[in-house]
Amino acid sequence: MKTRSKFLLTAFLFIGYAATSQTVTQALAKINTEGFQKSQVMNLITDLSDLYGPRLTGTDQYYTAAEWAKKTMENWGMDKVYFEKYCDDCMGWEVKSFNVEMTEPAYMKIQAYPYAWTEPSNGVQIGDLVWIESYADMELVKKQWSGKLKGKTILMGSAPKQNMLFEPLSKRYTEHQIKKAKKSISPTPDNALNSNAGDIDTIEDLEVIFEKYKRKDDVFFAFLKTEGALGILGATPLFPGVIHPSGTYNYRESDVKPMPYFAIAPENFGKLKRLIDREITPKIKFNLDAELYLKPENSVNILAEITGSDPKLKDEVVMIGAHFDSWHSASGATDNGAGSAVMMEVMRIIKASGLKPKRTIRMALWGGEEQGEIGSLAYAKNHYGKVKETTRKKEVEKISAYLNMDNGAGQMRGIYLQGNEAVRPIFQQMLEPYAYLDVNTLTIENTNFTDHEVFDFYKIPGFQIIQDPLNYNTVTHHTNLDVLEYVPERDMMVNATVIAALVYQIAQEDLRLPREE
């Protein structure tokens, strides 16, 4: 009798396991069919890039794109799509036209783009160019330049070093890098994959760092205005000819706006500096027609939900997200139109597959990430509690996990575990069906400076997706070349399909994912 009972129990457990396994397999098959054979992700990124980019924080362009995303997801039949405001004093800023030229000693068209939130030039301005290497010591700058800058344009910073482009501009992670990341035993010191591994323990630290960074130029800008300077030219050493107008950060209504400030191509910077070194004074002609305005209604996070089907678990949430805002000099395709399109496609795949996840799946497209994660942080403060208070709202305990995508358009290679060792075996099992796509690298390492760390701060399991870098850091990140041509279709399809499968499986778990110790 005992033997037969053991046999029946074993058979029952086996049948139960097989049925569960078969259910998961069937669900993943539906996800794969929808994600690989019926993909819409490139349609989404094409619209988001070519029709609804750029999406600078606070602008009409951002809000128009947000309305498109909301309407698109409503048309897919999402159970809920809505906006939440995150900023009342974020200024909109848009360029109408601009031009930068050298007229003496010979004509040269200067490849340039204005930094955001700078003042218009009030017509064409013409003046001699002078070079100021650094303003780290403002007392020294004032001593050297007081009374000498009226009517002048400033060439600001060091000349970019010569670059013969022997190194490739686009890369995938090597097998060595992936193995090193897998073997890492510490979240921060020696990150094999990402230079953004940091030791930021709290969001207060992050807010202090961002605020200090935002205000780093203010004293120098004020001095130049007082002295009667006309404008500023600067460069970032991205070759060949890449323009990098990331910033400024004077986006709040109360911030003093800088004078016209242009990022220029490094090769143009090099020539101008060499002329000055030879005591030949370039004459610069420029104009900037730009508009500053305040419309608080433009600053919204976009949220969409698929309501959970389990009566006991539907109040719990699996969250995914990406930042929706971009810089202004291109269409924001890789930063972060790609992440936004992927997360929208994840929601479409799950809905179109007819699957009924036990938990609610909520997607967020964040605004203001480029200004210090102000969109996701405002959401967290509203839903989870104030940063500096120890008490937390009950909603914190309802979130099983948050997955974020914000490292360009490269293929997913795995997940940064953000120091949470307890989730490793869970993710290993969930990603195993996709091992053939090389997406199952798990590293204890963390990465900072994007929206997942807000959730990590609130002790919600928050994770960033590992992605092949491609040309993100060499060509497209915050540059005038952040365009659709650098978004590979296969990578986008893999990302959306694998994340959809991962999110669905998390939503089906009996328990929420374990918190970091």
Instruction: Please tell me whether residue 162 adopts helix, strand or coil conformation.
Output: coil
Residue 97 within a domain = yes
List the beta strands (DSSP E) in 367-495.
399-404, 412-416, 441-443, 462-467
Q: How many residues does the chain have?
A: 517
Which DSSP string corresponds to 306-329?
Answer: E----TTTTTSEEEEEEE----SS
Q: Residue 487, Cα to own-chain centre: how many angstroms?
A: 15
- The answer as to whether 504 is a domain residue is yes
- The proportion of the chain whose per-residue pLDDT surpasses 70, expressed as a percent, equals 93
Same domain, 120 and 233: yes
Are 450 and 308 spatial neighbours (Cβ–Cβ below 8 Å)? no
Tens digit of each residue's pLDDT (9 = 90 or more) over 104-129: 999 999 999 999 999 999 999 999 99
Whether residues 184 and 302 fall in one domain: yes
Claim to verify: residue 195 and residue 139 sit in the same structural domain: no
Place of tokens 């997706």: 465
Q: Are residues 359 and 467 in the same domain?
A: yes
Q: Give the DSSP H/E element, type plus range, for residue 88.
A: none
Q: Are residues 148 and 184 in the same domain?
A: no
Structure tokens at 275: 């002329």
pLDDT on residue 188:
73
- Counting the structural domains of the chain, the total is 2
In a domain, 458, yes or no: yes
Domain boundary among 258, 292, 326: 292
Within a domain: residue 24?
no
Per-residue confidence (pLDDT) for residue 448, from 0 to 100: 84
Cα–Cα distance, 60 to 300 (Å, whole number) = 11
Is 6 contained in some domain? no
Q: Please, what sign has the CA dihedral across residues 16, 20, 23, 29? A: negative
Predicted local confidence at residue 8, as pLDDT: 43
- Cβ atoms of 229 and 152 closer than 8 Å: yes
Are 136 and 48 members of one domain? no
Q: Which amino acid is at 169?
A: L
- Note the pLDDT of residue 12: 43
User: Residues 400, 461: one domain?
Assistant: yes
5 compared with 369, residue with greater pLDDT: 369
Q: Has residue 182 been placed in a domain?
A: yes
Task: Please state the rounded mean pLDDT for residues 272-298.
Answer: 98
Predicted confidence (pLDDT) per residue in 7-61, tens digit? 444 444 444 444 455 699 999 999 999 999 999 999 999 999 999 999 999 999 9
Is residue 236 domain-shared with residue 357, that is, in the same domain? no
Bridge partners, residue 415, by sequence: 442, 465
CA distances from 194 to 189, 358, 443, 466, 489 (A): 11, 34, 11, 9, 23
Task: Please state, in angstroms and as integers, the Cα–Cα distance from residue 241 to each residue in 75, 285, 420, 444, following that order.
Answer: 42, 20, 41, 37
Q: How confident is the model at residue 388 (pLDDT cuts 50, 70, 90)?
A: confident
Q: Mark whether 151 and 176 lie in a shared domain.
A: no
Has residue 198 got a pLDDT over 80?
A: no
Q: Assess whether 476 and 453 both reside in one domain.
A: yes
**Last residue within a domain, chosen from 229, 262, 292:** 292
Structure letter (DSSP) for residue 372? T
- DSSP code, position 511: S
Residue 287 lies in domain: 93-162+216-292
In a domain, 196, yes or no: yes
Domain co-membership, 104 together with 145: yes
CA 277 to CA 256: how far, in whole Å?
33
Question: Where does 282-373 have alpha helices with state H?
Answer: 338-352
Higher-scoring residue by pLDDT: 89, 516:
89
* Last residue in a domain, options 277, 292, 307: 292
Mean pLDDT check: name the lowest of 97-101, 136-140, 202-206, 362-366: 202-206
Mean pLDDT, residues 144-169: 95
Same domain, 466 and 370: yes
CATH of the domain at 83: 3.40.630.10
Residue at 100 is within a domain: yes
Q: Which two tokens stand for residue 219?
A: 């004293």
239-280 per-position pLDDT tens digit: 999 999 988 899 999 999 999 999 999 999 999 999 999 999
Distance between terminal CA atoms of the chain? Answer: 46
Mean pLDDT of 223-228: 97
The pLDDT tens digits of the residues spanning 318-331 come to: 999 999 999 999 99
Cα angle: 362, vertex 365, 366; to 5 degrees: 120
**What local confidence, expressed as pLDDT, does residue 186 receive?**
84
